[in-house]
């Protein structure tokens, strides 16, 4: 038990905080039940995938500012391809969009490796590139999501308190992350984030590993775009507020800025905490502008704290 708390104490603490927030939600809104939990899960799903995307590159010692723009490209591409399409072609469209996410992320990683320009500069530039690409594909909200794609994230499964969106999130993360983390590629991602020089001397292919990490980021971003399209039923070419939220959730979830430490479980719990805080402020009838200020202040404080802790760890 001591070893469990020593190794996963931060995640356990986040889970306890999430449980207390759920209790607080029931106190301020006694009618909060299965439908409310379903709404929370569906609203959190795109943020969770954006957080997973950011977590992978942060673990590898980088950052990707174009996550939200890649989500927009994936979302509008899916909406355009699925508009009026049958089930067979819409399934093909999903596979195509996931492949597109891998390609976008790989392009980001390749530019960083080839040009040796800092990742924050390259991905800031690519933010505008992918945003423009999304507007070229769909210059206004439109298109449509396939009915089956919408149905897999709406409602509950097995139990009324188990939202489909939460199950979809767990399955997608487990399929990609669980086998990856203990694989050679996963260990290499942790190695280059922890100490790039030591990883190089140990025989890790730094360039290929970095490109692979950004490709995985693009894959998760594409999942987030699909989740957003399935939740809204249309494609949205303007990137949503996923960048800062994903960074804040990654840091709050225990991933060290600078790389080498962390996983996906903590950030996913953290993103539910941040979304639930926003829901509680809405239920308390707090002015939406004040809600935005509070939410932004929490994100800035978390990111600043993460930066300070990372700087102390390096020193």
Predicted confidence (pLDDT) per residue in 32-71, tens digit: 888 888 888 999 999 999 999 999 999 999 999 999 999 9
Going by pLDDT thresholds of 50, 70 and 90, the confidence category of residue 181 is confident
pLDDT of res. 153: 86
With a pLDDT cut of 70, the percent of the chain lying above it is 93
Please name the residues in contact with 132: beta carbons below 8 A apart, sequence gap of 6 or more: none
**pLDDT level of residue 203 (50, 70, 90 thresholds):** confident
Instruction: Classify the phi-psi angles of 27: left when phi > 0, otherwise alpha if psi is within -120 to 50, otherwise beta.
Output: alpha
- Provide the 8-state DSSP code for 253: T
Which pTM was predicted?
0.91
The length of the chain in residues reads: 315
Joined together, the tokens standing for residue 260 give 């080498």
- The pLDDT of 223-248, averaged and rounded, is 89
Pairwise pLDDT comparison (273 vs 1), residue with the higher score: 273
**Letter string b/e over residues 65-97, b meaning 16 or more CB atoms within 10 A of that residue's CB:** bbbbbbbbbbbbbbbbbbbeeeeeebeebbebb
Average pLDDT, the chain: 87
pLDDT at 294 over 90: no
Q: Determine the pLDDT at residue 3.
A: 60
Return the pLDDT at 232.
Answer: 87
Q: Summarize the confidence of residues 256-279 as an average pLDDT.
A: 86
Between CA 303 and CA 300 the distance in angstroms is 5
pLDDT of 1 over the 60 cut = no
pLDDT of residue 142: 86
Task: Give the C-alpha separation, 94 to 87, whole Å.
Answer: 11
**Residue 284 structure tokens:** 């308390």
Does residue 8 carry a pLDDT above 70? no
The pLDDT of residue 10 is above 80 = no
Whole-number pLDDT of residue 306:
64
Interhelix angle 265-283/288-314, rounded to 10 degrees, is 150
Phi, psi for 159 (deg, rounded to 5): -120, 150
Least confident of 46-60, 183-197, 254-268: 254-268
Residue in the structure block whose two tokens are 């924050």:
120
User: What's the whole-number mean pLDDT along residues 284-307?
Assistant: 77
Is residue 310 scored above 70 in pLDDT? Answer: no
What average pLDDT score do residues 93-118 get?
A: 95
Closest listed residue to residue 49, CA positions, set 211, 176, 225, 189: 225
Query: Average pLDDT in the 174-183 region?
Result: 88
Q: Residue range 167-184: average pLDDT?
A: 89
pLDDT of residue 149 exceeding 80 = yes
Farthest-apart Cα atoms in the chain, separation: 59
Residue 201 has pLDDT above 80, yes or no: yes
């Amino acid at each position: 038990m001591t070893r469990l708390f020593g190794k996963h104490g931060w995640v356990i603490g986040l889970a306890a905080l999430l449980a207390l927030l759920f209790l607080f939600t029931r106190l301020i809104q006694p009618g909060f039940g299965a439908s409310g939990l379903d709404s929370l899960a569906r609203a959190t799903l795109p943020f969770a995938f954006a957080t997973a995307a950011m977590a992978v590159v942060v673990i590898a010692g980088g950052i990707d500012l174009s996550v939200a723009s890649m989500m927009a490209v994936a979302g509008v591409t899916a909406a355009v391809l699925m508009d009026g399409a049958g089930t067979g072609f819409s399934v093909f469209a999903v596979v195509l969009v996931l492949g597109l996410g891998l390609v976008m992320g790989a392009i980001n990683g390749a530019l960083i490796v080839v040009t040796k320009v800092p990742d924050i500069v390259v991905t800031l530039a690519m933010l505008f590139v992918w945003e423009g690409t999304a507007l070229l594909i769909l210059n206004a909200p439109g298109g449509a999501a396939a009915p089956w794609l919408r149905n897999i994230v709406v409602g509950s499964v097995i139990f009324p308190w188990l939202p489909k969106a939460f199950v979809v999130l767990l399955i997608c993360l487990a399929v990609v992350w669980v086998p990856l983390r203990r694989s050679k590629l996963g260990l290499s991602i942790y190695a280059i984030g922890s100490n790039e020089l030591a990883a190089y001397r140990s025989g890790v292919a730094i360039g290929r590993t970095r490109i692979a990490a950004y490709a995985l980021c693009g894959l998760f971003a594409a999942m987030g775009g699909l989740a957003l399209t399935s939740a809204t039923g249309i494609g949205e070419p303007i990137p949503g507020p996923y960048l800062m939220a994903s960074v804040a959730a990654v840091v709050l979830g225990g991933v060290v800025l600078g790389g080498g430490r962390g996983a996906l479980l903590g950030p996913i719990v953290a993103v539910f905490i941040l979304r639930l805080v926003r829901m509680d402020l809405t239920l308390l009838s707090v002015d939406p502008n004040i809600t935005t200020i509070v939410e932004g202040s929490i994100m800035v404080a978390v990111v600043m704290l993460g930066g300070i802790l990372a700087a102390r760890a390096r020193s």
